[in-house]
Amino acid sequence: MKPDQSVDNREETKLLLSFNETRSKTLELCRPLSRDDYMVQATPETSPPKWHLGHTTWFFENFILKPFHKDYRPFDEKYMYLFNSYYETVGEFLPKPLRSTISRPDLDDVLNYRSHVNEAMSDLVGNLKGKDMQEVKARMNLGINHEQQHQELLLMDIKMNYYVSPYLPAYTKPAKKRKAELQASGWLSYGESIATVGYDGQGFCFDNELPMHHELIPRFNMSNRLVTNGEYMEFIQDEGYARPELWLSDGWIAKRKNNWAAPLYWGNSDGEFYYFTLSGRRKVDPNEPVVHVSYYEADAYARWAGFRLPTEFQWEYAMRTTELNHQGNTLESGIYHPDVQPVEKTEIAGPGGVWEWTSSAYSPYPGFRPLPGSIGEYNGKFMANQIVLRGTSCVTPDGHSRLSYRNFYHPEDRWQFAGFRLCRE
């Protein structure tokens, strides 16, 4: 065997191991669910767990097996319609709000579909040859990262699905959290700079993190940690939700339309705040980062406090040029809820626990080019009317915590694990 073939075989073995681990992790996250839970879709924004299982499988089938595995036989051609999410160039798809209306295929069929595709993927990787090899590897990496994104979405959606139930069921038992004592917040100063931002070439990235480029960043100060529940309670108690001068016009409309009076999952009982978590309902911890707020709420709080939200470039520059302390918890911690950030005034809490709203619109970097073909619909076509979030969250797989990662949501969205930190001139 030639030396380069040996290297290729090691890469293929490692890639297949990552594929199998990711596929198994998704099923592991579904283990606490009852059979009925797999069909629930609480809101138009969420998806039933059964659909997540099917769609992540559809991704590998449609973008890898069909074009590259000459002997592959599709499990069921109807799945092309049922489990396509938004790929217009692939074909028609079931509208997202209707994903819970289809009782067939049943759960066993979807699980068999996953096994069918897993076996075919193993067969393909074991027989990769020629010029297709690198393209299949690239698409497998994308598919693995895509499924990991859906692991986060799965927990986001399960939380919402359980929240609408009057039983308020717990997805998991409370996990033992790290003992930590909240310190007073502090400001870190950053001088004017022409900073390099974007993907630095280490490991995987999505196309929206490219290309690396320079941004002029005026001098600024940024808070060393996230805004906490206790601090956000002060905004609520000062009637922050009743003061239109603090809100963007669209935010005020969204607040009134949706009757917002506190973060999502919060409730008030006998004068005390409680929130719903994936481990059940409990009293709000004032020292934890506030989570499940929209961009509009984060922006209103910042105005109330006399500050603003950082741009995505300020956030990335600060994180790259400061020694990070207390990385927040991610999916692998098993806590599924943000924990306290016990940093000193001169330290900065690194990413983790919650995604962080920035003030930046989600738009392409200079020179951005989407991936060729249908896969190019993955990120690029959403670059309008959305806001960038940076960092990572308590339900994000570890491999997605790179500093160039650009998450994005509509400014009124709240069911993602999103919080914020403050910035000033």
Range of the domain at 71: 3-163
118 and 227 in a single domain? The answer is no
**Which residues is 357 bridged to in the sheet?**
389
Q: Read off the CATH number of the domain in which 370 is found.
A: 3.90.1580.10
pLDDT band at 399 (very low <50, low <70, confident <90, very high): confident
157 and 211 in a single domain? The answer is no
61 and 8 in a single domain? The answer is yes
Question: Which residues neighbour 23 within 8 Å (Cβ) at sequence distance 6 or greater?
Answer: 114, 118, 147
| pLDDT tens-digit map of 97-143 | 999 998 999 999 999 999 999 999 999 998 877 768 889 999 999 99
Q: What's the CA dihedral at 168, 170, 176, 179 to 10 degrees?
A: -20
| pTM, 2 dp | 0.95
249 and 386 in a single domain? The answer is yes
Domain assignment of residue 361, yes or no:
yes
Domain assignment of residue 336, yes or no:
yes
Question: Which residues neighbour 377 within 8 Å (Cβ) at sequence distance 6 or greater?
Answer: 86, 87, 88, 89, 370
206 and 287 in a single domain? The answer is yes
156 and 231 in a single domain? The answer is no
Domain assignment of residue 172, yes or no:
no
pLDDT band at 370 (very low <50, low <70, confident <90, very high): very high
247 and 307 in a single domain? The answer is yes
Q: What percent of the chain has pLDDT over 90?
A: 85
386 and 319 in a single domain? The answer is yes
Total number of domains constituting the chain: 2
Domain assignment of residue 259, yes or no:
yes
Helix (H) or strand (E) holding 8: helix 3-30
Q: Is the pLDDT of residue 314 over 90?
A: yes
Q: How far apart are CA 402 and CA 197, in angstroms?
A: 12
278 and 383 in a single domain? The answer is yes
Exposure of 374 in the CB half-sphere (CA atoms within 13 A): 14
208 and 151 in a single domain? The answer is no
